[in-house]
Amino acid sequence: MDWYELTDEYHGQTLKFDGKLSSLSHDWQRELASVWRLEADVSNGTYLQFIENWNVESYDFALQCLKHIGARKMARIIEKCHKLVLKHTDPALPDSERFRDLMSNPVINSDGSMTTPPPSPLPDKVVQKVYALSYRFMDYPDDIAELGVAYYRPKVDAHR
């Protein structure tokens, strides 16, 4: 059983339903889909990309996954990132607005032109702290592939 194929399988199943985690039958499947999103987006564009793309529901399930498998260091890292973002965004806004435009990096369009997004609502110091934490996450201080397969194998095997 390959961890990355497994998590991608459940994330992929949500894409037919506009990425909705509720399209999956079990919380453990939502955890696997969410941790795929977390790993992919943090590695591609830091925690800010993850929370901007997937919002709090995926954060909650990804954090639950990391805690279930015993990836305590990685769980603490994303908890710190999340607390920083929450502290510096408006709680009165719906998540779709609260977590929009957190990344202020220029984007290369398909035609090669550059688009500059609006400035991040986060102070530069906070963005830099989230980036530093994201790089620590990318160092994989816990072996989530090994831990994850050990924890989820019985659930997956029973479901197939």
Overall size of the chain counted in residues: 160
Give pLDDT, residue 59: 97
Summarised one tens digit per residue, pLDDT across range 95-111 is 988 998 888 777 777 88
pLDDT per residue, tens digit, the chain (160 aa), is 899 999 999 999 999 999 999 999 999 999 999 999 999 999 998 999 999 999 999 999 999 999 999 999 999 999 999 999 999 999 999 998 899 888 877 777 788 888 777 788 899 999 999 999 999 999 999 999 999 999 999 999 998 7
- Cα 38 from Cα 114, distance rounded (Å): 26
Give pLDDT, residue 118: 75
Give pLDDT, residue 147: 97
Residues forming a β-bridge with 115 = 107
Give pLDDT, residue 96: 87
Contact between residue 73 and residue 141 where contact means Cβ atoms under 8 Å apart: yes
Contact between residue 133 and residue 77 where contact means Cβ atoms under 8 Å apart: yes
Q: Which amino acid is at 114?
A: M
Contact between residue 65 and residue 74 where contact means Cβ atoms under 8 Å apart: no
